[in-house]
Amino acid sequence: MFVVRFILSNLFGMVLLVAILLAKRILKNKVSLKFHYHIWFILLFSLVIVFLPMSLFETVGLGDITQQITAPINNKPGSVLVPPDMPEDWRYDFTEMTSATNNGELDFLVITLWVIGVLVVGIFYYMGSRRLRMIKRFAEPMQDNIVNIYHNCYKRICPKRKICLMQSDLITSPISFGCRLSYIILPCHVVNHSSEKEIEHILLHELTHIKHNDIWTNFWLCAEQAIYWFNPFLWWAFAKMRKDREAYCDWSVLNGYNSKEERLSYGDTLLRFASQKNNTMSYTANGLFDDKKQIRYRIERIAEFQKETKASRFIGRSFIFLLTLIMVLQVPAFAMVASDFGLSYQPKRGMTTVECDYSQYFGDAKGSAIVYDLNSDVYQVYNSSVITKRIAPCSTVKIFSGLNALEKGIITPSENTMKWDNMPRGISAWDRDQNLYSAMSNSVNWYFQLLDKSVGAEELEEFYARIGYGNEYIGGDTSYYWNGSKLKISPLEQVELLIKLYLNEFGFHKENVDTIKDAMFITDINGNKLYGKTGTGKIGSNDVNGWFIGYVESKANVYFFAVNLQDEANANGNAATEIAFSIFDEMGIDLNK
């Protein structure tokens, strides 16, 4: 889901960029240039949030579940119990192919293109850094009279950094760079053909850059430009930020002068060098002179110079605070993405859970298991951090597909047979006429596809929304909406829906609910009646998503369950069933004849 988060970050960045531009336009001369520069950092911070660890966005793993940690149930290894008279076919769920491979290939392609772009831009900046190292290597010591001016400027700015002042004939514009040891390097022609006042202006400007930590900001900007290389709006925004950075640096220098004449003299220095060709442009360094448009902007700001007042400071800080709040709004949006855009269930009521260790039954496969005791209202849970994650329901959805068809009158409890279309599907159990019971037992895709098609996509989606089935989304196609591309549901929701179905909290016709229960019936062992449905999701020839959901009805109690496992292969309904029976045995639920 990183690709989705990254796209969302770009979209939110565009919204924030518009908000920043509006704020700058509204305030304009009502605030200082300090505000006009610092407001850009909100955008920089916003674009970093997407790369924070995903765990920071996951608000609560189980919503408002109340955990009750008790002593675990006996975790003795148990054998897989499958009653000898139980029909075998119901466990082997012949289901659809998932579309997960297409999504994975698309994500890989997008990420590959993005990485290539990052590398290209990164190489460009690396070459700029190498050029700076070459300039530094061949730079020469500064003349004594310039050093004296520098010391006076250093005392005025107080950057509190170790700085090396040098000169070079490899550059045409003054630059400053370096993190641990900072360098200010002046062009030889500037040193030889400039007045002491002009040298003072240049040094004050570069020292102010160092004091403002603009060297580190340069690296930050370069990193984000590399990461967001494909977004021209952000490149434009970063160029605006660099322009405001230079204007803010000018403004800071001008605050150290007391007279208008001194400030205008500083502007004259900019104008004098504006006509000179600058071949020292480097995004990894600070420079006094940029292109003519930026020089014009800075000269205009110098002409309009005003010191910051308490009122302008308050207004500026208030707007920055407001825009920071807007930036923080993307955190809950990313929390949603951390839940796969609503694909994490947030329970609506408190729950009492008992953590159980069923890892010996799952082996190396990932997954979860839930068993709900109706009498005690307690959930026995394995891998609680996963039971709220929504995934493809596969063929387990056929329980409610059949119920919907009964409610809509597509089929009835007494008339639910559909003729086979004589099209071979490669599965002998499918290639015959089917009723609700045989179709449920053999997980016959074409039978339920006909039911869903008869209902229609819009009404089918309304039905799933009514009962609260997972993310309630099927799209416009009823054929394979359960295969991983659209409809998704969590193990916990599977159990909650089975409870509501059993108690008929939906208010459906009783005969329809009873019919679905009968279709789910698997076996009766020692007075324990097992009802359930398996599900299998495939990628290619590999079974990667296995379900077994249902309930066990005894004389004194009812136990609802959902087992899901995921692996690169062999994660299917049969494997989920074996795990479920091992858990039943461990719990003392006798299903062994």
Kindly list the catalytic residues.
Answer: 395
C-alpha span between 395 and 569 (Å, rounded): 18
Residue 159 CB-half CA count within 13 A: 30
Which residues fall within 8 angstroms of residue 101, CB to CB, at 6 or more apart? 539, 540
Residue 88: left (phi > 0), alpha (psi -120 to 50), or beta?
alpha
Edge to edge, what strands does the sheet with 182-187 contain?
140-141, 163-168, 182-187, 175-177, 286-287
Helix (H, G, I), strand (E, B) or coil at 83: coil
C-beta atoms surrounding 72 within 10 Å: 12
Taken in order 400, 405, 407, 411, is the CA torsion positive or negative?
negative
C-alpha span between 470 and 305 (Å, rounded): 60
C-alpha span between 176 and 184 (Å, rounded): 4
Which residues fall within 8 angstroms of residue 59, CB to CB, at 6 or more apart? 335
Q: Which residue has the tokens 């479920």?
A: 580
Using CA atoms in the order 565, 568, 574, 575, what is the torsion angle rounded to 10 degrees?
Answer: -60
C-alpha span between 236 and 231 (Å, rounded): 9
Burial class (CB in 10 A: 0-12, 13-18, 19+), 398: buried
Q: Which amino acid would we find at residue 552?
A: V
